[in-house]
Amino acid sequence: MSDRILITGATGNIGSELLRQLQAKGADVVAGTNSRPIPGTESVSIDFADRSSLERAMKGVATVFMVMPAHPEMAQWGENVIDAARNAGVSHVVRSSGSMADEGSSRTLDRLLGLTDAYLAGSGLDYTITAPNFFMQNFATQLSADFKENVIAVPAGDGGVAWIDVRDIAAVSAEVLLNPKEYRGKTLTITGSQPLSYAQAVEAMNRALGTSASYIAVSDEAARKAMTDLGLPEFVIDVMVGLGQCVRQGHVEETTDTVERLLGRPPITFEQFVQDHRTAWI
């Protein structure tokens, strides 16, 4: 039987790192991308809105790693991936969700993630759900320019976040993909080992980098206005405000032992993340 693994979203945060780690382990892996092929990597073209393209990409695939970008249509896209996997005879789906996924949530992203999780659970497919917390890498990507300007303004209050490095998310995902039967039907919440507020995270970055950035806890209304003025889509604004609400309400500060239990080592610390990504800010 084939051990071939398909990674959807192979150019994204998790997908690209997972691809790198699986290739290093010698896995039979193919990258699903909706853009150009990845150099040096076997790639297939996929369109989340086109089930037939997904079924073609899954031909001969044993396990699918399912990760999608945040998008208003992501719940429908999730159904398309799951239906395609079932039609193509895929043995196991590993679904990358989120730590606060809940189909009944009032928060946009959590509701959409939860709808896909529920659809997968009822699909009849063997599956595992990985549910990572907020990415440390957010500071090196979407918040990098703000940090360079010495102010990070987020509607997150002083709540804590058990930040997780994408490299750890990928490592846990690789373990599940290479040993899917051991994790059948499980949901694995992936967090770091210590909650840090945005203010504490910025302080840690300042210590490591010799910078003097500060954190400002803004209101939802102020955040909405700032993002609207930047021309961001309403969907993105709703997602970002919802993430801030999760932090303020204490929903993402709990830690789990998933990384240590599956990988036999502690999670990457925030301090180590900063050292490894310092060129993003200086």
Model pLDDT for residues 12-31, shown as the tens digit of each residue: 999 999 999 999 999 999 99
- Per-residue model confidence as pLDDT tens digits over 214-237: 999 999 999 999 999 999 999 999
Tokens of 92: 């196991």
**For the chain, percent of residues with pLDDT exceeding 70:** 100
Q: What is 5-133+164-191+254-267's CATH number, 3.30.200.20, 3.40.50.720, 3.40.190.80, 3.90.1150.10?
A: 3.40.50.720
Question: Helix H segments across 195-269?
Answer: 198-209, 220-229, 234-248, 258-263
Complete edge-to-edge strand list for the sheet that includes strand 63-66 = 43-45, 29-33, 5-7, 63-66, 92-96, 126-132, 187-190
Rama region for 198: left / alpha / beta (φ>0; ψ in -120 to 50; rest): alpha
> What residue ranges do the domains of the chain occupy?
5-133+164-191+254-267
CA torsion through residues 190, 195, 199, 204, sign: negative
Q: At 206, phi and psi to the nearest 5?
A: -60, -40
Strand pairing of 196-197 and 160-161?
Answer: antiparallel
Model-level pTM?
0.96
